[in-house]
């Protein structure tokens, strides 16, 4: 990512509506697919950024580790007192085979040029019976400033991501859905207006204030209840939960 983006990321990750709801979603998925005592569930946050989620999962009792390619991000996380953070070389995870019960790759593989290698690495370190939780941005036609400052290589369609998983690994989808669906119309309009009027902002995080943060959080958070019952056919992002059964 561009160095300036990390400063924005660090200051918004804790309170921004997007990150807060995504953390709620991850908490539900872990309880859903890996029920039991948290202290027996070893987790890797692959592409952890500053490690805020790592710290939150550690507080919840999960033995959690974070890897990120950015020394700047890892250094910031360590200064926050978060343990088990380390810098990865290229896209390599660097842990032993079958080490983790869960691997989180949250808006990560779109940053990696060789996304097949990233998926193989996730499969390699995952224990049989474990899960990988992957989120990625959806639809190349939604490409915008956020993708540029985040240095994305691509956005995905759900069927495209499933095909990539089948070609790269033996992992099996156990939950697949688009999400950030309720806010989809507004985000599409915003992206289109940005392109038409060539609006220049440092990132999408600028579109926020206390009122909007609360409003967007409440709308977005409603989706978790719906995701417990069914999957969305479209959205700004994609959720894929993969199981390892060998």
What is the model's pLDDT at position 19? 94
Alpha carbon of 167 to those of 83, 126, 128, 160: distances in Å?
Answer: 35, 18, 19, 11
Q: What is the pLDDT of residue 64?
A: 98
Low-confidence ranges of the chain (pLDDT < 70): 1-8, 10, 200-207
The model's pLDDT over 106-130, given as tens digits with 9 standing for 90+, comes to 999 999 999 999 999 999 999 999 9
**Per-residue pLDDT at 148:** 84
Could you tell me the pTM of the whole model?
0.93
User: pLDDT value at position 109?
Assistant: 96
DSSP secondary structure string, 25-83?
Answer: HHHHHHHHHS-S-GGG--EEEET-TT-HHHHHHHHTT--EEEEES-HHHHHHHHHTT--
Strand arrangement of the beta sheet that strand 64-68 belongs to: 85-87, 64-68, 43-46, 100-106, 126-137, 237-243, 172-179
H or E element at residue 19: helix 17-33
pLDDT of residue 91: 87
Question: Which of these, 38, 167, 24, 18, lies nearest to 102 by C-alpha position?
Answer: 38
**pLDDT in the model for residue 10:** 65
Q: Which one, of 175, 167, 181, 169, lies nearest residue 234 by Cα?
A: 181
What pLDDT shows up at residue 175? Answer: 98
């Amino acid at each position: 990512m561009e160095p300036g983006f990390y400063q924005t990321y660090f200051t918004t990750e804790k309170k921004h509506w997007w990150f807060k709801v995504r953390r709620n979603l991850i908490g539900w998925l872990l309880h859903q697919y890996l029920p039991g005592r948290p202290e027996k569930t070893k987790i890797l946050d692959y592409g952890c950024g500053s490690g805020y989620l790592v710290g939150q999962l550690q507080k919840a009792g999960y033995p959690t580790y974070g890897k990120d390619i950015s020394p700047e991000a890892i250094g910031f996380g360590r200064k926050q007192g978060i343990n088990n953070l380390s810098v990865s070389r290229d896209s390599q995870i660097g842990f032993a085979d079958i080490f983790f019960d869960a691997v989180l790759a949250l808006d990560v593989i779109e940053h990696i040029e060789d996304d097949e290698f990233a998926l193989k690495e996730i499969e390699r370190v995952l224990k049989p019976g474990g899960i990988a939780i992957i989120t990625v941005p959806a639809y190349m036609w939604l490409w915008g400033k956020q993708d540029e400052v985040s240095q994305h290589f691509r956005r995905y369609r759900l069927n495209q991501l499933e095909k990539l998983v089948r070609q790269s690994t033996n992992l099996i989808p156990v939950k697949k859905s688009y999400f950030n669906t309720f806010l989809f119309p507004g985000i599409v309009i915003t992206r289109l207006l940005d392109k038409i009027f060539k609006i220049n902002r440092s990132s999408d995080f600028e579109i926020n204030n206390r009122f909007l943060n609360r409003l967007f959080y409440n709308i977005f958070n409603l989706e978790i209840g719906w995701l417990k019952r069914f999957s969305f056919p479209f959205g700004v992002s994609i959720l894929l939960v993969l199981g390892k059964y060998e």
